Structure 1
Amino acid sequence: MKNVLLGKAMAIAAITLLLLLGLGHIADLVDERRQRQQEAQWSVEQGQAGRQTLLGPVLHRSCTEEWDTPVGEGAGRKLVTSKREVLLAAVPDQLTLHADAALEARYRGLFKVNSYAAKTRLQARWADVATLQPKAEHAGSRLQCQAPVLMVALSDARGIRVAQVQADGQRLDVKAGTGHPAYPRGFHAVLPAAPESGAVQADVTLELVGTGEFSLAPVAHHTQVELRSDWPHPSFGGRFLPAQREVDQDGFRAEWRVSSLATTAPADVLRGAPLCPSSTGGNEPEGGCIEAFGVSFIDPVNPYVLGDRATKYGVLFIALTFVTVAMVELLKKRRVHPVQYLLVGCALVLFFLLLLSLSEHFAFGLAYAGASTACAALLAYYASHMLGGWRAGLGFGAAVGTLYGALYLLLQMEQTALVIGSLLLFAVLALIMVLTRRLDWYGLSGTLNGRPGAAPPASEGQQ
């Protein structure tokens, strides 16, 4: 009997290792599908437009200063002309942006990618553009300047659909590129006159498309942004969160108000700093890049993220189920063959594969309900024969269904998953201890080894 008990324990251990190997393959499959989803998003970004960061409008002007320097003495003396080029820039004092972003889903096979079409209006005002007037650094030099240029830079200019610019009420011709060496992608318009000082008012209308995220660099001394969208699951990020936001099932509305007292973006633009790598500006600007803020149009229920999290609980599922079967063996004295352990474990592992495949075609909640119901019903039917009765089978199926319900609760409550999981494990342990509180383990060992128990039954006071 001792050899039989040891052999069964080793068989169950081997079965558990095989099931863990199966879970590992399913986890690899989840990672592969998630990677393919990222490739689908990259494909849409390459074919349409990527994550958009908007910078501007900003005024800039190219100037050249030439001067003559005498070289040599006497008859060999001559004048050598030297030249320097300077790029002057002026950021707005006031910048107001109003944008409406409508989501347009794109698909690559089974994979959905959130792209958007945004209608944007920017109103900028410069109180004084005297900074666009160059100052000579050499006596008697000659200064030549091109006309001032109003530019709007984007991280992906392929997303521009319509761009219109008005300055002081006059419609300007819009041309590709910004004319600025640090921000080449975007568009620009040449101002009809070169104001030496005074205020300039600009109105820019822009329609653009992008994928996943939209953000803005607060380049003005006072920046105010209002963004509306029909997407009900925004994720606000970057260096500044909205001052006000409203989110409901029909979409969201958010407002930002940023002062140059709180950001270095205006000064960074004037020195030609690059945009931050992330369209939302990142948590910390890297290498003195221009910080930004914005919104990500995320899917709150990503089947591959939830599938990966669910698979990580597979070990716990197998352990708790095998413990339940073992408790039935002990308490009901019903022998269960290792092959039956294997079949029950295969049903548990198959649940995660069913969940992954169904979630690619249906909503995650519906896919979860279908996979868990199918597996719980199968296990209830099988357990009714394995445990010797429909009542025992239904109880086993109900226990497995409770585990599935607990797992779904853990997946939906990411912030409290640890405390809920800990409480559930404590409850399972407490239940096992209560059910086995009268069990004579010495007697059980003696019976399995074909001899009486080595210790007498516990007295009433020890129970």
Structure 2
Amino acid sequence: MSDESPLNFKQRDFLKQLKNSLMAKIAMIAIIIALLYIPKSLILDLIHERENRSAEVLKEIQHKWGGPQNIYGAILSIPLASDKETFIHLHPEKLDILGQIHPEERKKSIFKTIVYKSDLDYQLAFNFTSITQLYGKEKLLWDQAILSFGISDLKGLSRQINLKHCEQNINARPGIPIDNGLKTGFHFPLNLDANEQQITLSTQLQINGSQELSFVPSGRQSIIQVQSTWPHPGFEGKYLPTSYNISDTGFDSHWEIHDLQRDFISSWRDREHALEQETCSVRLIQFNGSYSQVHRLVKYTLLFLCFTFAAIFICERLSGQIIHPLQYILFGFASLMFYVLLLSISEHLSFALAYLIASVICSIMMALYSRSLLANWKNSLSIGFTTGGLYGYLYGTIQLEDYALLMGSLGLIITLATVMYFTRDLSRYNTKEIKA
């Protein structure tokens, strides 16, 4: 007689049935996927930590080189004879800017960013007809006029600046000595002739900065042309270019803005007018920001785990082998390690190459591990190729940002349809149960 009680026999029979139950297996996989979201959150924290460190290095470089530059220029200010503390301020009648942006790479430790040097040629024309009619020539101190330029980050001024007026070369002086609405910048003292109704001025600026260069179109007619060898510009600000051309060798952009388009007034007294910061901006866009791309990939963790576990589950059922829950967990950890490996490699290599290396390593690792579990090269290669194909699918998904949601939805539908197909005849699997 057997010493085993009927109760123990029933328990063993129940555990055997639970072990080979299809629903129990699916429930177990769902629980494992839910538990894997805990290490997923740790991976997201790691991405944020590395991204913050990269941002700190970027700020250090900008602090020494020059940050995003916003140039307001120019404002001509003429004091009243009756009160030398009161100024009449003028915007240019015509403002022409011809700019060249020269991008450069700056690196600190393993982090790098793009900065630029810019060469800017300013041509200015002022007309005094309206203010002489309003105040009279004799009521303005023409010989004490001041021409001011505003600039957001003075560290970017890399050389001495001269202003050409008639036959004179006038050196720039630091700061804004009057209250004309500009906070930081430089100025030129001018000795104007009261009999002149209009003047033309020119100057060349060489300004260092990073990420973005902006201009305020302060002239009644402003024509701005910016060229660069950087192939990925982003046009921002209130005014978009009138025309532009972008190629692999760089870009050429052109703005033409007149006074009917803007809220500026041409002249004002003291601070009766608040300066508008309406800008024409060009940003040097960097596509090698691997942190944002890895972060987007992590958002597809559910899709990736569903694909991977579906492939393992199908191969398990077709082979008649039983994979332990712990082994499913190890497959899940291998899938999550892909993100950590990708993050670490992409800090040293291009994102595309890092993605290829990380996906090949993880696909081979999961294929070899499944070979030891399923004892069948056909099934293990199926898991390896499925995983590799999934990596390729996800790479294509993050490249098509506008269609990412559509691609992800289709992927989940395909996964569900595949599992439904291979589990359509449950009675066939019951014949493959492992006998005690």
> Which TM-score tier does this pair reach, normalised by the shorter chain?
0.7 to 0.9
* CA displacement at 1:160 relative to structure 2: 1.0
Q: Note the 1:64-143 alignment, pairs <5 A.
A: 65=82, 85-128=85-128, 130-131=130-131, 135=135
Distance 2:434 2:132 in 1: 97
CA contact (8 A) 1:130 1:197 kept: no
Aligned AA for 1:344? F
User: What's the counterpart of residue 178 of structure 1?
Assistant: 176
Q: Report what 1:24 is aligned to.
A: 41
**SS at 2:115's partner residue?**
strand
Q: CA deviation at 1:156?
A: 1.1
Change (3 A) 1:421 1:247: same
For structure 1, list consecutive stretches of 5 or more residues without a partner in the other structure.
67-83, 137-141, 275-288, 451-463
Q: Contact 1:376–1:401 at 8 Å: present in 2 too? A: yes
Of residues 403-412 and 124-133 in structure 1, the stretch that sits farther from structure 2 once superposed is 124-133
Amino acid corresponding to residue 339 of structure 1 in structure 2: L
For 2:415 and 2:33, locate their aligned partners in 1 and report how far apart those are by CA, in whole Å. 20
1:371, distance to aligned residue in structure 2 (A): 0.2
Tell me by how many angstroms 1:202 deviates. 0.5
1:132–1:362 CA distance, 2 compared to 1 (3 A): farther
Q: Note the C-alpha offset of 1:134.
A: 7.4
Match of 1:218 in 2: 217
CA 1:411–1:293: 2 relative to 1, 3 Å: same
What is the 5 A alignment of 1:299-314?
299-314=286-301
8 Å CA contact 1:53–1:214 kept in 2: the answer is: yes
- 8 Å contact kept, 1:129–1:200: no
Q: Match for residue 368 of structure 1?
A: 355
1:236 and 1:174 map into 2 onto residues whose CA distance is 30
Name 2:414's counterpart in structure 1.
427
What aligned pairs does 1:391-410 form with structure 2 within 5 A after superposition? 391-410=378-397
Q: Which amino acid aligns with 1:428?
A: T
| 1:109–1:272 CA distance, 2 compared to 1 (3 A) | farther
Q: How many angstroms apart in 2 are the aligned matches of 1:393 and 1:252?
A: 50
Runs of 4+ in structure 1 deviating by more than 6 angstroms, as ranges, are 142-146, 445-450
Aligned-partner residue type, residue 374 of structure 1: I
Residues in 1 aligned to 2:208 and 2:363: alpha-carbon distance in whole angstroms: 46
Give the Å deviation of 1:365. 0.1
- 1:184 partner SS: coil
Name the SS for the 1:161 alignment partner.
Answer: coil
The one-letter code of the counterpart of 1:107 is: K
- Of residues 29-38 and 12-21 in structure 1, the stretch that sits farther from structure 2 once superposed is 12-21
Q: Distance in 1 between matches of 2:268 and 2:281?
A: 18
* Cα drift, residue 15 of structure 1: 3.5
Q: 1:435 to 1:246 in 2, by over 3 A?
A: same
TM-superposition CA deviations, 1:282-339 (whole Å, max 9, x none)? xxxxxxx421011111212310000100111112211221122222233332211112
Among 440, 443, 463, the residue aligned to 2:426:
440
Give, in angstroms, the shift of residue 115 of structure 1. Answer: 1.2
**RMSD of equivalent CA atoms:** 2.7
> Is the contact between residue 142 and residue 194 of structure 2 (CA under 8 Å) also seen in structure 1?
no
Deviates more, 1:261-270 or 1:308-317: 261-270
> What corresponds to 1:161 in structure 2?
158
CA-CA distance at 1:94 after TM superposition: 1.1
Q: TM-score, normalised by structure 2?
A: 0.87
Q: Is the 8 A contact 2:303 2:411 kept in 1?
A: no
C-alpha displacement of 1:405: 0.5
Q: Aligned partners of 2:88 and 2:62: how far apart in 1? A: 34
For the residues of structure 2 that align with 1:150 and 1:344, how far apart are their CA atoms? 69
Within a 5 Å distance, the mapping from 1:36-51 to structure 2 comes to: 36-51=53-68
- Residues 333 and 266 of structure 1, relative CA distance in 2, 3 Å threshold: farther
Measured in 2, the distance between the counterparts of 1:366 and 1:127 equals 58
After TM superposition, give the deviation of residue 445 of structure 1 in Å: 7.0
Distance 1:87 1:28 in 2: 55
Aligned equivalent of 1:232: 231
Residue aligning to 2:369? 382
1:282-301 equivalences in 2 (<5 Å): 289-301=276-288
Distance in 1 of aligned mates of 2:331 and 2:267: 63
CA distance in 1, matches of 2:232, 2:417: 40
1:188 equivalent in alignment to 2:187 = yes
Residues in 2 aligned to 1:29 and 1:63: alpha-carbon distance in whole angstroms: 62
Find the aligned partners of 1:269 and 1:344 in 2 and give their Cα distance. Answer: 72
User: How far does residue 17 in structure 1 lie from its aligned partner after superposition?
Assistant: 3.8
For 1:284, the equivalent position in structure 2 comes to none
Letter of the structure 2 residue corresponding to residue 23 of structure 1 = K
Contact 2:334 2:362 in 1 (8 A): yes
SS of residue paired to 1:153: strand
Match of 2:76 in 1: 59
Which stretch shows the higher mean deviation, 3-12 or 210-219?
3-12
How many residues matched? 413
Is the Cα–Cα contact under 8 Å of residues 329 and 336 in structure 1 kept in the other structure? yes
Q: Does 1:359 align with 2:376?
A: no
CA contact 1:217–1:265 (8 Å) conserved in 2: no
Looking at structure 1, the residues matched to 202 and 364 of structure 2 have their Cα atoms a distance apart, in angstroms, of: 64
SS of residue matched to 2:144? coil
Alignment correspondent of 2:310: 323
